[in-house]
Amino acid sequence: MFDGIETNYMTIIGPIIVLFVTMFAVTLVFKILFSWLPRRLFNFLIGPVALFGIYIWAIPMNAGFHELFK
């Protein structure tokens, strides 16, 4: 059933590390720029900001940047 599937876990590690770094950087910039917001609003927006970090990561990966890690 899975004869044609070949997994190489080393090609997955690089993009995942870049994903974590991107999400951390985006949330850090958000914290630096918007720490003046009320605490409840800041905590409410931190989730969508982290998801935006995934979106920022996904565009170059879809454009072929993942080939760098192969």
Q: Residues 39-64: pLDDT tens digits?
A: 999 999 999 999 999 888 888 777 66
Rounded (5°) CA angle 17-18-22: 120
Q: Which amino acid is at 61?
A: M
- At 49 the pLDDT is 93
Cα 11 to Cα 42: distance, rounded to the nearest angstrom: 35
- At 16 the pLDDT is 84
Cα 53 to Cα 24: distance, rounded to the nearest angstrom: 8
Q: Residues 2-18: pLDDT tens digits?
A: 555 556 666 677 788 88
What is the pTM (predicted TM-score) of this model?
0.72
Which residues, 6 or more positions from 60, have their beta carbon under 8 angstroms from its beta carbon?
Answer: none
